[in-house]
Chain A
């Protein structure tokens, strides 16, 4: 099966499987979370897979002990629980001791929309951003997911990654230089849209619609949110009159906030528009598409928000 057809979780865990098969120091911890290809890892490498049950704090503590003993650890849970539920353990153990632990958060934004605000992932990214030693990656395509696994080994430190679900076809036409931290999906213009993860695809569609309405804009997949890429300022912000960030995260502390921190210090007059979820918890139930439509995060909603602010 080629990379276009498989679920991004499988693209990710299949690559991790390859790593695990040649290095028995690779350990995967799951807090009662499942994924099709993770089952293969668990079955074939039972010594390298531990389901800690519903105990995220313990998962991070165990991961810390394993990492202190030379293991390369991957922790898997729902984004909201994998970050906020065990924030203290991540901060004190993994970050302050710079341990090689990768936290994999499933369920970005509204992807577990029907399970209520406890399962929505709107603050995972912003909370992880608070941790100085943490690196943060958002995955927008299956090939990026594969390359990410290699990056985790090179990085060898605290890492948070948002892992979505469903097929995220490979973007062969966009060469990934992982170390760069971003890739240009549509040639830069005076107005540039910056997004990542699930929203990168929607953003590309929005850009096409804007172009056909006479508004040219570039699109950037900023997959490394922390540390922000060194060249981002020089190569993107300095060349833009307006930046529009599009994210499936709370606008407080997310991708838009990251950009605002750089733009505020810049000398050019680059404008910033931040599109994301409102600063609230959503005690309502629906699928991802329903939420996106309701809160203006679908293609039309984003398009209208941009047009109204031009």
Chain B
């Protein structure tokens, strides 16, 4: 294989087919950017899940003086009830991984810290927040086991799976991800059609050369390789553009905007970007190579 010769053929092909090549590069860049953005959202969901599921799990709020639910009819939780609940929780090992007790004062402190810039703090007295057990489960999906055992028990006001609160948010992110990946899929389809068409035009514009190559006995790959390589190079350039877009989203969007404004949670790191980018390259170049090879089978029969 004469690489220099093939490289020259690619260069000539690019120049001859300049507008189509630009169209291919831009389309590939746009579709891969969407595709990569979809993957980033997915990474974000999974990072946040890791982060939050680790922190918030299950809260068992205990009765206070003013609790209205039936299980609190005996008034505030007694020290015996509290001790019994803790013991029963610990007996649930290994499902129950750890149990933290949060007193009214701890709850108040956390509340104050969380809302330190807000006027709401002045309206809440240290007594108003319920004491609770924070329970960490080894398998968070087994939430119902604990729920059925402790809900309605005297001294327990409410058993709350805090993951449910987050799930709404995750659903939103998942929806975003589906939309991004759906559009990306449509765009990739457009890319395939565009590459197929570009190959047809390219094959037509070089029909003299191809005719001579066939006559003198050039092998199939020698005839097709310049075209396929041309498509692959376009895809590579498009993927590079989209890699730039993804890096820009990470740098300008996440690091400089989202992260400072939403400090309560974490965001995907550069490691996720470095995982996504090679994937984006592989998908882009792979699609270009496959669709050009398939279309050339039709247009370049020996």
A binds B: no
